[in-house]
Each structure stands twice: as structure tokens, then as C-alpha cells.
Amino acid sequence: MTYKSYAKINLGLEVLYKRTDGYHEINTLFHQICLADIIDIEPHNSIKINCIPDLGIQQEQNLAFKACKLLQNNYDCKLKGAEIKIKKNIPTGAGLGGGSSNASTVLKGLNSMWNLNLSDTTLLDLAKELGSDVPFFIKGGTAIGKGRGEVLEFVDFKLPYHILLIFPEVKISTKVAYEKLNRSSEISSGSDFKKILDDIADSNKINTVLKNDFEETVFASHPNLKNLKEKILLNGALYSQMSGSGSTIFGLFNDIKILQKFESVLANYHTHVCIENTNL
């Protein structure tokens, strides 16, 4: 079977405080986008993961492999296997959740192929064991994420803009990005993203209601990313932001011709366009 494993952007991302368990409490707005890896899953006598291009890691380190082992160990599937081929279109280390999406897609694919008949609720619980972003991709769409990102409230929301993704040749360590924020343990609640969904759809308000807390420290270390964001805004974007802990920078446009004109001069970058609303 062949599946699309979609990426995400964080339309907003607030890192609120450091928890007693060592993790950080976040408040974010996940939004699934059209950029996707392609995953083929076929029966096999063992677990075999093949990524194109190769990620340069042992397959045991791949979240897709860990998803397979999680199902094997929890549902008496040790005699079942799978050959999984992943055509990578989502850049790694780019803040787009590619690895997490792959893990989620494999959970859903094997659930079907191995006839486990697990509910979405059960899959969500399993996904939490694999990583903070993995649960979101079980359902996709748009969701408010709290906790480490795994406490989800899915919302009915259509982004009324086209998205230009720009991938600088920079990889940001999420661990280091959190450390540099140096958050205290003082509890705070963050923005109410559910209440501001209408403001996101208002081109006159979007700049006042969204932010990414990681930009402060990441831009200090990588001023070229800040310059890229400013360039996007100067070339017709209604809003621009870094996704996750970086390094992807996205711009939101309501005019596809302006977006395409700007993209045409970005020869030094890898870019991708997501057409969100054909009625724009």
C-alpha cells in the first residue's frame, strides 16, 4: 500500500515554562500542509526500512522503525514484518515534523495491513510513546497542542492563504533551541488559539496574534534566517514565521501570482508552494 505522509507548520508556537519532569510546556497551533513524503508498505518476514535519499542513520534510529517495533511488542505481532520504503520530500531538521509524520503513517498503515483494528484513540496513545509531534499526524488537519505538543484539541479551520515554504541549508537542534530559551518554572497559560482563529483569517490582524518564541534565540544565532523572514514580508507576504524550532521559514500570501513571482527569484533556496484555497 502507498501512503502520503504529510508535513506540518506551526502557525503559532509559545514555549511557556520548564516543567518539573524536565520537558517544556508549549502552546502551539499545528497545521497540516500539502508537502508529503511517499511511503510504500509491503509484507515482509522482518522489519526493513529504506529511505530515499538515505538519512545516514541506522534503521533502528528511524521513528518509522520504532513505530513498527511498538506495534510488534504491544500486540503480539513479533512474527509479522514489513518492508517500508520512504521517499523523502520533507527536509529533515527543518521544523516540519517529517520523521513524526512518517511514524504516524506507519502506525496507521500497519494497523491496516496487520489487521489490528486499533481505534484512532488507541493509535493516539501509541503515538505519544514515539514523540511529541507524532500524535498530531494520526488525524492531521489543524489542532491546538499543549503539554509537550501531545495534548491535542482538533479544530475545524481552513487557512485562507497560500503557503510558500523556504528551506535554508541550516539544521537547528531542537534540544539546543530549547536550552537557549532558558525558560523558568513559573507557570503561564499562553494565548487562546481557539479564540483567535478568526483573527488569523483577517489579514489586518494576523501579525498581532501569532508568533514563534524560538525565533528570538534562533535568529540571534542565524541572522540569515531573520533576513529571509524580512525579505518574504517585503515581497508581498501577509505574514511570515519560522516553523517549529526551524529552520524552515514560511510566508502566507493571498495572491498566488505575487507568491510565484517571489519564488522565481529564490534560486539559491529549496522552496515548495502549498495551494491552500483555490478560491483565493
Q: Do strands 47-52 and 24-44 pair parallel, antiparallel, or not at all (unpaired)?
A: unpaired
Q: Which of 8, 66, 80, 108 is catalytic?
A: 8
Look at residue 13 in the predicted model and tell me its pLDDT: 98
Look at residue 277 in the predicted model and tell me its pLDDT: 58
pTM of the model: 0.94
Look at residue 171 in the predicted model and tell me its pLDDT: 87
Q: How many CB atoms lie within 10 A of CB 269?
A: 14
- Angle CA(150)–CA(274)–CA(146) in degrees, nearest 5? 15
Which residues of the chain are in CATH 3.30.230.10 domains? 2-155
Residues in the chain predicted with pLDDT less than 50, given as ranges, are 278-280
Q: CA 101 to CA 5: how far, in whole Å?
A: 6
Q: Are 46 and 78 in contact (CB under 8 A)?
A: no
Q: Which of 37, 128, 133, 229 is catalytic?
A: 133
Q: CA 114 to CA 43: how far, in whole Å?
A: 9
- Cell triple for 21: 519532569
User: What is the identity of the amino acid at 181?
Assistant: L
User: Is 18 noted as a catalytic residue in this protein?
Assistant: no
Instruction: Give the CATH architecture of domain 2-155.
Output: 2-Layer Sandwich (3.30)
User: Is 37 noted as a catalytic residue in this protein?
Assistant: no
Fold of 162-274: Alpha-Beta Plaits (3.30.70)
Look at residue 66 in the predicted model and tell me its pLDDT: 97
